[in-house]
Amino acid sequence: MIKFPAQPRLILAALISAAFLSACEQPQSDEKKKEEPNTAFESTYQAHSHHPVLIENATVLTAAGDRIDNGSVLFKDGKIVAVGTDIETPADDNLEVIDAQDKWVTPGLIDVHSHLGVYPSPGVDSAADGNEMTAPVTAEVWAEHSVWPHDPQFELALAGGVTSMQILPGSANLIGGRTVTLKNVPARSVMEMKFPGAPHGLKMACGENPKRVYGNKGRSPMTRMANIAGFRDAWIKAADYKKQWEDYENGEGNGKAPKRDLQMETLAGVLKGEILIHNHCYRADEMALMMEIAEEFDFQISTFHHAVESYKIADKLAENNVCSALWSDWWGFKQEAFDMVPENVALVEKAGACAIVHSDSPTGIQHLNKDAAKSMASGNAMGMNITPEKAIEWITINPAKSMGIGEQTGTLEAGKMADIVLWDGNPFSVYTKAEKVFIDGALMYDRHDEKYQPVSDFQLGQYDFEVKAQEGGAQ
């Protein structure tokens, strides 16, 4: 025990007492703390730094309607500076000039429908965190709270040119929870991948999935009419919850704040236009019914996913400003996916509706450009004359718009994020590979440089371990 002389002990006691009284007499510090914004679950993404880059002599697909032959793209400080044919080379010692003769440049690819991180590899039950199959409505769950950032499938998607993606909960439930939009960068937590400012989406599912999951348990819904009743019941409750909070904020009612309800907060967010609807729905008649529900409760459906029968109601989708996220040729794996045509994407495009090519697959996400190529070929076989400068929109700006990030990324235009892919040929050729991938202007992948071929933490050292095990040297 340390002993102080009497006088210093008195001085020390006086200082402690004064500090205590001072803290008690200054409650404004606590009030100030309470006024600080709550940043829980906000993005902490930080773009990587990189020197300025000028790509020259490329075929450039801007996804803004233009194809530029012998074009150039200049970017620095994370943003696109200029796109065109007459860009003057800046006087900058740090500038890297890439001669892209015979190569193509596009915006970074965007997948509107992915389950990477929530259904990671290895695909084992203990890591399958994408489907909360406990109730028909689980609007309270957020996909980001299941995302494992070390899923090695993220790096494979990056090698395929994917710079951003939306991660969704599964489709077992009528309302399955919130989606999250990610930048495809190595990270320690999902918040370091979360796209800054991107709105949440809400995953909904109609048709066979919810009626199969719950009907097989002898629970509701077990019919399509119960599906619709379940949706309407949830939105009635959400509208009431929203009004309770509006009354409280307007000084009406008893002046007491309503009790927070995580499920209702999400649904009310949709009704306020803050959260976007992403609706798993295959059949045309069910998509039409979902648009009726949207009209009844005054919200907007952003996108129907999978939507193999969109071609039947493409005009209605255009009128209602609803996108369709589609495959090029998946069909027939269940009854509601049977009436598919390979021209689906092209027919939606022809009607003036928003067409998107998506994956819903850890393998398909590596080949979005090839799926778009197949859809383009199917349309052209019908005489539609779809060009590469149109098809690139299906995997860049259209998904960006449907996810609420079209103002930040999705096209090669000055001021936008420098999310860019340099391809070693026409990206709609089966022989073409992504050569370099930039995210916010930083080189994140280079097919010819191992320094820019990221490996997840989960995979580090595994190759050496496997080799030693094969040689009998692993312990």
Supply the pLDDT for residue 253: 78
Picking from 312, 294, 369, the residue whose alpha carbon sits closest to that of residue 303 is 294
Alpha-carbon gap, residue 77 to 231, rounded angstroms: 45
pLDDT tens, residue by residue, 340-397:
999 999 999 999 999 999 999 999 999 999 999 999 999 999 999 999 999 999 999 9
Answer yes or no: is pLDDT of 259 > 90.
yes
The rounded mean pLDDT for the chain is: 92
Alpha-carbon gap, residue 132 to 155, rounded angstroms: 26
- Which pair of structure tokens corresponds to residue 251? 């000084």
Fold classification of 108-410 is: TIM Barrel (3.20.20)
Tell me the average pLDDT across 135-140.
98
Tell me the average pLDDT across 220-233.
98
- Which pair of structure tokens corresponds to residue 108? 């970074």
Tell me the average pLDDT across 425-449.
98
Other beta carbons within 10 angstroms of residue 210's beta carbon come to 29
Q: How confident is the model at residue 466 (pLDDT cuts 50, 70, 90)?
A: low
Tell me the average pLDDT across 15-38.
50
Residue 78 contacts residue 440 (beta carbons within 8 Å): yes
Report helix, strand or coil for 205: strand
Supply the pLDDT for residue 20: 36
Supply the pLDDT for residue 470: 58
| Span of 136-140, 157-161, 250-254, 307-311 with lowest mean pLDDT | 250-254
Q: Would you kindly state where each structural domain of the chain is located, as residue ranges?
A: 108-410
pTM as predicted: 0.90
Q: How confident is the model at residue 276 (pLDDT cuts 50, 70, 90)?
A: very high
Answer yes or no: is pLDDT of 294 > 80.
yes
Q: How confident is the model at residue 457 (pLDDT cuts 50, 70, 90)?
A: confident
Supply the pLDDT for residue 87: 94
Better-predicted residue by pLDDT, 355 or 471? 355
Alpha-carbon gap, residue 119 to 130, rounded angstroms: 6
- Which pair of structure tokens corresponds to residue 285? 């008649």
Answer yes or no: is pLDDT of 3 > 50.
no
Query: 68-74 long-range CB contacts below 8 Å, 24 or more apart?
Result: 71/105, 73/105, 73/412, 73/420
Q: How confident is the model at residue 254 (pLDDT cuts 50, 70, 90)?
A: confident
- Which pair of structure tokens corresponds to residue 410? 């999705």
Alpha carbon separation from 274 to 43, 57, 270, 299, 302 (Å, rounded): 16, 42, 6, 10, 12
Answer yes or no: is pLDDT of 29 > 60.
no
Supply the pLDDT for residue 36: 77
pLDDT tens, residue by residue, 186-225:
999 999 999 999 999 999 999 999 999 999 999 999 999 9
Alpha-carbon gap, residue 140 to 178, rounded angstroms: 8
Supply the pLDDT for residue 7: 41
Answer yes or no: is pLDDT of 32 > 60.
no
Contacts of 76 (CB under 8 A, 6+ apart): 51, 52, 53, 92, 441
Tell me the average pLDDT across 315-325.
98
Answer yes or no: is pLDDT of 465 > 80.
no
Supply the pLDDT for residue 1: 38
Question: Strand runs (DSSP E) across 85-212, as ranges?
Answer: 96-99, 104-107, 109-114, 162-167, 175-178, 180-183, 201-205
Supply the pLDDT for residue 459: 82
Supply the pLDDT for residue 34: 55
Alpha-carbon gap, residue 432 to 381, rounded angstroms: 22
Supply the pLDDT for residue 28: 47
Supply the pLDDT for residue 157: 98
Supply the pLDDT for residue 463: 59
Picking from 342, 347, 283, 338, the residue whose alpha carbon sits closest to that of residue 309 is 283
Answer yes or no: is pLDDT of 464 > 70.
no
Query: Which helix H or strand E contains 9, and what residues bound it?
Result: helix 6-24
pLDDT tens, residue by residue, 59-97:
999 999 999 999 999 999 999 999 999 999 999 999 999
